[in-house]
Every structure is written in C-alpha cells, then in structure tokens.
C-alpha cells in the first residue's frame, strides 16, 4: 500500500476503568460503566482477516457464517482481482450509549496491478457486546459490504486492464513516421475447416505465401481447437498480396486490424525496429508492467524506448453480478497514451536514400547529417545489409576518406594546402611497399601541393608525411572531426576508432584509413558535417522525452567499451576552411568530378577505397563523403570497384534528387 492515502484520524473512544475519566485533545470522551471492555481488539482481528482471508481469530456474532465459510466467500469475491493485495486499518471505534453495540471504521486499500493508484474505500463494521464472554466481550456482525462497497449476494470483483495508445515515432518537423496503419491478419481459422482437411488448408495457405509448409502446418496443428493461427500481416496498401484471393482459400480468415508501422516495410527498419506481441522473455523482464498480449517494441528504437512509447495502461475494478453480468465500476484509472519518440529523420530523404540503395547487392549505406545541428536526416542501409544497420553500427576501414582526418593532423603540424609534398609511385615502410590506386594520374606525382595530393588521394604523399603526426595526433584529429570512440548518442551507434599507439607499417596504414582504423558511415558523415560546419559536430538521431528504460541489448553502442578520454580539441573555423578548400579540389581537379555539376551549392567531397581480404580474395570497400550547403553525406558500398566509380554515382543520384 502507498503512503499518504488516509485522512487524519479523530477517534471517539470510551476510556473506562476504576479511575476518573480523562479528557484528551481531539478525543471525544463519553461516560461508561466501570470495567467496560474496549471493542478495538475485535475490530483489529476483523481487519486482519479481511486483508489475509483467514477468519479463524475473528470473534464472530452467533448469526455469522463459520470462519471457513467466510474464507471461501472472500476468496470467491476477490478471485478476479488476481495478484492484488489488501491492507486494512482500523479507524474510529465508537461505542453506543447503551454500551451493547459499537461501530468501527475500516480503511481499506487494495494494491491493484498495473497502476500506481490504490483502490481505497472505507467500510463500517458492526460489533455487539457479549457480556457472558470475558475473553471476547465484543463480537463482529458479518455483512458482505465489508468486502467491497455495497457488495450484494452474487457479485464478484474483477480487475480489467486497458492498454494505452502507443506513442508515435516522429521525424523532422514532427512528421509522422510510425503510427497505427490498417493491416490484414491472414491465417487459418480452425473453426472454419474440419480436422481431416486442416493440414491441407495450412499447407495451401503456406504455399500461396511462399512459406515453409511443414513449419506452418505444425503450428496450426499444435494450436487450440478454435485457434486463429496467423500466417502473415499484410499492409492495407500492399498490392503485392491478393488478400481477397487468400481469403477464398479453405480455412483462411482475414482479420482487419491496425498496427504501428512506418510508411513502408523497409523504412529505417534496422534502426526503428519492429512492434509486435510481447514475448515471454519481455513479459518476465518487465516486472508486471507488460502482460501477454501487449503490443511492445521488439527491436531497435521501438524496443529501446518501449517504456516511453507504450504509455501507462488503464485499470478498472468492478463488481460484476454473476447472474445478469451487470457491473458497478468501483475504480477507474484511465490509460495514459505513450509519449511520442521524436527523431531527426527526414521522411523524404530517408526514402530517397533507400531507393538509391535498392539495387546494391552488398552491404551498403547512405547517411545524411545536417552540419548546422548534427541532425541525422537519413540513415539508410541497403538490402544487402540483411537487416543490420550498416549505416549506424557498421565497422569498416574508411580508406582514403580518412585522409580528411590525416590532413587535419598535418595542418596542425604546420602544413598548408599550398605546402609542397612529394607523391612518388611507391613508398616503402619497414619492408612493406605502399602504392597509389591503379590508374593514379601521372600529372599528380612528384612534387605537388598538399591540395593536389589530397584531391587525387596520393597514398604515398600522405605516408611520406607520417612523421608530422603520430597515432595520438591522428586520434586527436579524428575526435576533433567527430569520430568519437566513446560517444553515447542515445541510440545504438558506432562512430569510429583510431588506435592511440602504432608505428612503422601500422602507423603508415592508419594515415590512409586502413590497418586498425575503423569507421561507420554515420561516423564519416559526421566528419564531413564537422568540416562543413566549421566545428566539431555531434550527430543526433533521437530527442527522447525520457531516459530509455530498456537497454539496447545486442545492438548496444559498439564503442561502449572504449576507455575514458580527455575532452577532444575543438575543430577551428580556420582548420575547417583549409579542409573545405582541399575537399573542393577533389571535385574540381580530383576523383570527385562526378559531383562537379550537381545542381545547387558547390559540393566538396573526398573519395575512399579500402582493401580487405587477401590474395585472390582481395576486395574493395567503396566510400565517398560530401558536403553541399547544409547537408553532409556519406555513401558506403561493402564490395565495389572504387569510391569514385561505385559510391560516387550513388552520391550524385542522392544529391541530384
């Protein structure tokens, strides 16, 4: 029972004994014959019994049912309250003037499931004097209203739970993303087909839906005799299914419903997650907050922010007549709708990104970030990602897109875009030979400006300047550009990791974004956004109203085990200006020419290709990052030719849209 539910008590008590009557403040004292016993112990025994159900210690009046019968009556009346528990306290006890009867106020509180609000009421117990029994001078008259207000014969108490309306998921400008949408639940209704035809009906529906017929037939067979065994949920707008034809199959029933869904089946699914019936594991872990049949988040943000989205259920306690079904509502707690989950996603940009990636066979991603705010406007993972949010938790060598980071480290060491560096065809570090990508322009070799080496992505020039910045310098530059290894963003995310110690070939590989350097498309979009904004950008995807109650589980932030680091050195506007100058050169004279004529503001960019695998299995990750106005974009393709030829055209299509 919760504290603070009772009003302050004033008692009317008879104080009796051989001595004179004593007057007390806030206590009404009435005269009584010497030796009149106190009725409170009998009332307290009744209070204990009403709470526990054990009437064995209650002094009952002669016309009261036996204690065992009362226990059975109480059990039957309160059975429908489930796990609810009662606390009963004795209030005022008043003895009549003739001292042959008394009344006792009983303050009752039921701790009802699913709500913080107790069901409270006051009952009045009648007691009668038994002058022949010195041990139990007062006895309790039994009455059904002691169990519930105005309870009558044949009424039973019930508690009913009403689920709250689930909060929507919103995007930029509070655009609706996930909201209740009409669906058709298609399945076998076992009341519609005979036992002999049941297996054939199940297999027929499974074949029509291209499901495993053995698995579905087994589910149908093991379900209850009158069960509806759902096979699929079809959106009302999904033209790929002929719902009418499915409904015409033997034993099939189609049930109209509404389910919280995104605009399309694929829309940010790897990030938003899914909603469905609570699993046994979720019910067990909820400590009573979730019951079987509840709609809950099963994965992604829907799961992580489920407590916020699902709201608070409503509860009704009622007395229901067994014969007529008539009910009296004794407690009504209305449900409280879930709070919206606000995200920064732009619906149009997310859909465009997914469309651009729809034909990419390997894992792929497009992430768009608004530099001025850090808002993640799109975080799309292609079909080749097979359900993984490649966009936000993928971990890949960023290749030459990481040269933006290395360039910042070199700028801090004294280089300028106009500084002269040497770009040989190859360079050797501790016996390992590094070279430029096949087809590297000869005109950009030899002594060239740092801008030219950056624009054409000269590996050997960057490796040749490696002594200007050690690994700690690279890590510091990465963090200044938003690649924060210990970022806590409120959603499952990995930005990037750069080892803080490496030398020789390991350090040389780091400079060109390979070796142990890892980044996600979100991380590299953040790098581009920081350059565009002229300051270190922290990406944000959710703006939660409350702290998420559920852990992210297996999708937890990938960098959560990173050591604590001192505050990052902020990126300065001057540093960003130099990087913008060199990234513009990528478009005007380097490998980013595919973006030169994109309509709108001038585009700055950096290409990247990262090799992985060995020998005959050597393959390439293809990257490209860009900034146009207040939009920073990263495109990643898990297996491609090169950044400029594989990721570049996808980025152009996205920007040109």
How far is the CA of 217 from the CAs of 88, 207, 229, 248, 471, in angstroms?
A: 53, 11, 10, 18, 60
Cβ atoms of residues 11 and 19 within 8 Å: no
> Using H for helix, E for strand and C for coil, what is the string for 571-637?
CCHHHHHHHHHHHHHHHHHCCCHHHCCCCCCCEEEEEEEEEECCHHHCEEEEEEEEEECCEEEEEEE
Return d(Cα 55, Cα 51) in angstroms, integer: 10
**Average pLDDT over every residue of 97-113:** 95
pLDDT at 25: 29
pLDDT at 549: 54
The helix (H) or strand (E) run that includes residue 309 is helix 306-310
Residue 396 lies in a domain: yes
Return d(Cα 640, Cα 633) in angstroms, integer: 18
Both 266 and 410 in one domain: the answer is no
Strands, E assignment, 290-373: 295-297, 314-321, 327-333, 341-342, 364-369
Return d(Cα 204, Cα 182) in angstroms, integer: 25
**Average pLDDT over every residue of 599-622:** 91
**Average pLDDT over every residue of 289-295:** 90
Q: Is the pLDDT of residue 551 over 60?
A: no
Residue 65 lies in a domain: yes
The pair of three-digit structure tokens given for residue 413, joined into one six-digit string: 């060491």
Q: Is the pLDDT of residue 463 over 70?
A: yes
| Number of Cβ within a 10 Å radius of residue 165 | 13
- Long-range contacts: 53-61, Cβ < 8 Å, 24+? 58/140, 59/130, 59/136, 59/138, 59/139, 59/140, 60/139, 60/140, 60/142, 61/128, 61/139, 61/140, 61/141, 61/142
Return d(Cα 315, Cα 81) in angstroms, integer: 11
pLDDT at 14: 36
Both 401 and 283 in one domain: the answer is no
CATH number at residue 306: 3.90.1310
Residue 632 lies in a domain: no
Average pLDDT, the chain: 91
Q: Which domain holds residue 136?
A: 11-150
pLDDT at 562: 54
Return d(Cα 92, Cα 104) in angstroms, integer: 6
Both 66 and 193 in one domain: the answer is no
The pair of three-digit structure tokens given for residue 520, joined into one six-digit string: 């996600």
Residues whose CB is less than 8 angstroms from the CB of residue 214 and which lie 6 or more positions away in sequence, other chains included: none
The pair of three-digit structure tokens given for residue 656, joined into one six-digit string: 């040109």
Q: Is the pLDDT of residue 421 over 70?
A: yes
Q: CA 497: distance to chain centroid?
A: 25
Q: Is the pLDDT of residue 36 over 80?
A: no
pLDDT tens-digit map of 198-251: 999 999 999 999 999 999 999 999 999 999 999 999 999 999 999 999 999 999
Both 359 and 267 in one domain: the answer is no
Residue 555 DSSP class? G
Q: CA 165: distance to chain centroid?
A: 16
pLDDT at 6: 39
Both 146 and 174 in one domain: the answer is no
Q: Is the pLDDT of residue 129 over 80?
A: yes
How far is the CA of 502 from the CAs of 478, 506, 513, 614, in angstroms?
A: 15, 6, 13, 22
pLDDT at 274: 92
**Average pLDDT over every residue of 44-58:** 97
Q: Residues of the chain with pLDDT > 90: what percent?
A: 84
Using alpha carbons, select from 520, 528, 532 the residue that is nearest to residue 485: 520
Q: Is the pLDDT of residue 1 over 80?
A: no
Residue 635 lies in a domain: no
Residue 4 lies in a domain: no
β-pairing verdict for 169-170 and 119-129: unpaired
DSSP string across 98-126 = TSSEEEEEEEEEEE-TT-SS-EEEEEEEE
- Residue 615 pLDDT level (bands cut at 50, 70, 90): confident
Percentage helix, strand, coil, to 5, in the chain? Answer: 30, 25, 40
Both 405 and 530 in one domain: the answer is yes
**Average pLDDT over every residue of 451-474:** 97
- Select from 150, 177, 196 the last residue of a domain: 150
Both 394 and 301 in one domain: the answer is no
How far is the CA of 521 from the CAs of 75, 301, 536, in angstroms?
A: 61, 19, 17
Return d(Cα 94, Cα 27) in angstroms, integer: 11
Count of domains in the chain? 3
**Average pLDDT over every residue of 264-284:** 93
Both 137 and 194 in one domain: the answer is no
What is the separation, in whole angstroms, between the first and last Cα of the chain? Answer: 61
pLDDT at 559: 45
Both 381 and 290 in one domain: the answer is no
Residue 163 lies in a domain: no
Q: Is the pLDDT of residue 66 over 80?
A: yes
What region does 130 belong to: left with phi over 0, alpha with psi -120 to 50, or beta? beta
Both 181 and 270 in one domain: the answer is yes
Q: Is the pLDDT of residue 560 over 60?
A: no
Q: Residues of the chain with pLDDT > 70: what percent?
A: 92
Return d(Cα 9, Cα 30) in angstroms, integer: 18
pLDDT at 133: 84
pLDDT at 7: 37
| Number of Cβ within a 10 Å radius of residue 619 | 13
Residue 155 lies in a domain: no
Q: Is the pLDDT of residue 11 over 50?
A: no
Q: Three-state SS for 380?
A: strand
The helix (H) or strand (E) run that includes residue 228 is strand 228-235
Both 134 and 257 in one domain: the answer is no
Which has more confidence, 6 or 565? 565
Residue 13: beta bridge partners? 29
Using alpha carbons, select from 129, 118, 195 the residue that is nearest to residue 159: 118
pLDDT at 298: 95
DSSP string across 24-79 = BTTEEE----TTPPPSHHHHHHHHHHHHHS--TT--B-TTSPPHHHHHHHHHHHHT
pLDDT at 5: 37
CATH number at residue 142: 3.10.450.50
Q: Is the pLDDT of residue 120 over 50?
A: yes
Return d(Cα 414, Cα 551) in angstroms, integer: 45
The helix (H) or strand (E) run that includes residue 277 is strand 275-277
The helix (H) or strand (E) run that includes residue 432 is strand 432-435
Which sign, positive or negative, has the C-alpha torsion 311, 317, 323, 324?
negative
The pair of three-digit structure tokens given for residue 141, joined into one six-digit string: 């008259």
Q: Is the pLDDT of residue 287 over 90?
A: no
pLDDT at 601: 97
**Average pLDDT over every residue of 117-134:** 94
Q: Is the pLDDT of residue 8 over 70?
A: no
Q: Three-state SS for 264?
A: coil
| Number of Cβ within a 10 Å radius of residue 507 | 21
CATH number at residue 586: 3.40.710.10
Residue 327 lies in a domain: yes
Cβ atoms of residues 621 and 610 within 8 Å: yes
- Select from 93, 116, 150 the last residue of a domain: 150
Q: Is the pLDDT of residue 26 over 70?
A: no
pLDDT at 555: 44
Residues whose CB is less than 8 angstroms from the CB of residue 23 and which lie 6 or more positions away in sequence, other chains included: 29
Q: Three-state SS for 90?
A: strand
pLDDT at 132: 86
Of 6-20, 471-485, 550-564, the poorest mean pLDDT is in: 6-20
Both 301 and 411 in one domain: the answer is no
The pair of three-digit structure tokens given for residue 294, joined into one six-digit string: 């509840």
pLDDT at 18: 28
The pair of three-digit structure tokens given for residue 111, joined into one six-digit string: 């701790």
């Amino acid at each position: 029972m919760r504290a603070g539910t009772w009003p302050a008590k004033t008692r009317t008590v008879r104080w009796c004994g051989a001595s004179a009557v004593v007057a007390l403040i806030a206590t009404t004292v009435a005269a009584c014959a010497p030796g009149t016993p106190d009725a409170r112990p009998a009332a307290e025994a009744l209070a204990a019994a009403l709470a526990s159900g054990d009437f064995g210690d209650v002094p009952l009046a002669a016309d009261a049912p036996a204690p065992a019968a009362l226990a059975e009556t109480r059990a039957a009346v309160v059975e429908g309250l489930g796990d609810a528990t009662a606390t009963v306290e004795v209030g005022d006890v008043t003895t009549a003037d003739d001292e042959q009867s008394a009344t006792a106020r009983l303050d009752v509180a039921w701790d009802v499931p699913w709500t913080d609000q107790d069901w409270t009421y006051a009952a009045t117990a009648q007691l009668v004097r038994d002058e022949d029994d010195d041990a139990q001078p007062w006895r309790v008259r039994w009455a059904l209203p002691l169990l519930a207000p105005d309870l009558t014969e044949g009424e039973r108490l019930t508690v009913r739970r009403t689920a709250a309306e689930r909060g929507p998921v919103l995007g930029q400008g509070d655009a609706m993303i996930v909201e209740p949408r009409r669906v058709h639940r298609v399945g076998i209704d076992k009341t519609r087909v005979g036992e002999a035809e049941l297996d054939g009906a199940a297999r027929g529906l499974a074949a029509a839906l291209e499901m495993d017929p053995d698995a579905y037939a087994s589910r149908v067979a093991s379900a209850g005799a009158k069960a509806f065994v759902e096979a699929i949920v079809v959106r009302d707008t999904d033209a790929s299914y002929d719902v009418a034809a499915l409904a015409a199959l033997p034993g099939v029933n189609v049930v109209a419903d509404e389910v919280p869904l995104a605009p399309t089946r694929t829309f940010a699914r790897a990030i938003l997650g899914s909603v469905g019936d609570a699993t046994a594991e979720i019910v067990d872990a909820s400590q009573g907050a979730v019951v079987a049949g509840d709609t809950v988040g099963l994965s992604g943000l829907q799961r992580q922010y489920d407590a916020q989205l699902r709201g608070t259920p409503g509860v009704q306690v009622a007395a229901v007549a067994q014969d007529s079904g008539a009910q009296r509502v004794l407690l009504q707690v209305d449900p409280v709708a879930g709070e919206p989950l606000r995200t920064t996603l732009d619906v149009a940009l997310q859909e465009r990104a997914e469309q651009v990636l729809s034909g990419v066979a390997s894992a792929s991603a497009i992430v768009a970030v608004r530099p001025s705010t850090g808002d993640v406007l799109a975080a799309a993972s292609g079909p080749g990602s097979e359900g993984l949010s490649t966009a936000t938790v993928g971990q890949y060598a960023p290749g030459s897109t990481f040269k933006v980071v290395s360039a910042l480290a070199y700028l801090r060491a004294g280089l300028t875009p106009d500084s002269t560096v040497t770009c040989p065809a190859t360079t050797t570090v501790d016996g390992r030979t590094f070279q430029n990508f096949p087809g590297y322009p000869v005109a950009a070799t030899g002594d060239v400006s740092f801008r030219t080496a950056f624009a054409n992505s000269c590996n050997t020039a960057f490796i040749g300047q490696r002594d200007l910045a050690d690994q700690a310098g690279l890590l510091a530059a990465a963090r200044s550009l938003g690649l924060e290894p210990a970022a806590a963003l409120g959603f499952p995310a990995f930005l990037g990791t750069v080892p803080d110690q490496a030398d020789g070939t390991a350090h040389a590989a780091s400079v060109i974004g390979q070796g142990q350097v890892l980044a996600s498309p979100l991380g590299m979009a953040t790098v581009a956004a920081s350059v565009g904004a002229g300051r270190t950008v922290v990406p944000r995807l959710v703006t939660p109203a409350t702290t998420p109650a559920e852990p992210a589980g297996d999708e937890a932030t990938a960098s959560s085990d990173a050591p604590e680091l001192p505050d990052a050195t902020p990126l300065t506007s001057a540093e960003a200006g130099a990087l913008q100058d060199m990234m513009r050169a990528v478009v005007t004279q380097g490998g980013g020419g595919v973006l030169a004529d994109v309509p709108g503001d001038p585009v700055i960019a950096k290409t990247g290709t990262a090799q992985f695998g060995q020998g005959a299995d050597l393959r390439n990750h293809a990257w490209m990052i860009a900034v146009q106005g207040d939009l920073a974009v990263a495109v990643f393709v898990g297996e491609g030719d090169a950044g400029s030829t594989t990721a570049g055209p996808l980025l152009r299509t996205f920007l040109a849209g």
